[in-house]
Amino acid sequence: MKIKKVSVSDVPAIFTFVKAAISKMISQGIFQWDEIYPTQEDFIADAQNNQLCIVEIEEKAAACFVLNKDCDEEYKNGTWSYTGDDYVVIHRLCVNPEFQNQGVGQKTCLMIEELVKPQEVKAIKLDCFTQNPYSLKMYEKLGYKIVGYADWRKGRFALMEKVL
């Protein structure tokens, strides 16, 4: 497995597996993403900002994620353990359905930790849909703690943090 940043030209292929993942979540009763969010334009903007990454397994995109310091306004609802500026936020982590149930999400998170350590990042923050038991279980197993909640269009999301 390796992480690499991708360009705008890679977005259509990435968004194809994101749409497949959305369909799979919906079939499992997880209504976290839909046709309104995330959009291909979100991923294009991520690529233009040099923040969109994929995880490759044997040269095939197994997962994607965005890494930056952008926090939605609702992140103020969290009681964050780390309040300094040396943090990153994971957005739009998505495992290609072809690679689901193989530990790819967990390995991706561990690889992100290794990626940011040389940058002296002290904490990783994210939000997780409370009706997605698979993601919640994975993040908790990785040591992320719920520090608050945000209520958005699709429902309640747990604000989570891992202090490195």
Interaxial angle between packed helices 40-48 and 11-27, expressed in degrees from 0 to 180 and rounded to the nearest 10: 140
Dihedral over Cα of 36, 132, 68, 3: its sign: negative
Q: According to the model, what pLDDT value does residue 73 have?
A: 93
Express as a percent the part of the chain with pLDDT over 90. Answer: 99
Average pLDDT over residues 48-54: 97
What is the C-alpha to C-alpha distance for residues 20 and 10, in angstroms, rounded to an integer?
16
List, for residues 103-160, the tens digit of each pLDDT value. 999 999 999 999 999 999 999 999 999 999 999 999 999 999 999 999 999 999 999 9
Average pLDDT over residues 46-55: 97
Are 133 and 54 contacting, i.e. CB atoms less than 8 angstroms apart? no
Q: Which of 53, 61, 75, 54 is nearest to 126 (CA)?
A: 75
DSSP state of 100: T
List, for residues 60-70, the tens digit of each pLDDT value. 999 999 999 99
Are 94 and 126 contacting, i.e. CB atoms less than 8 angstroms apart? no
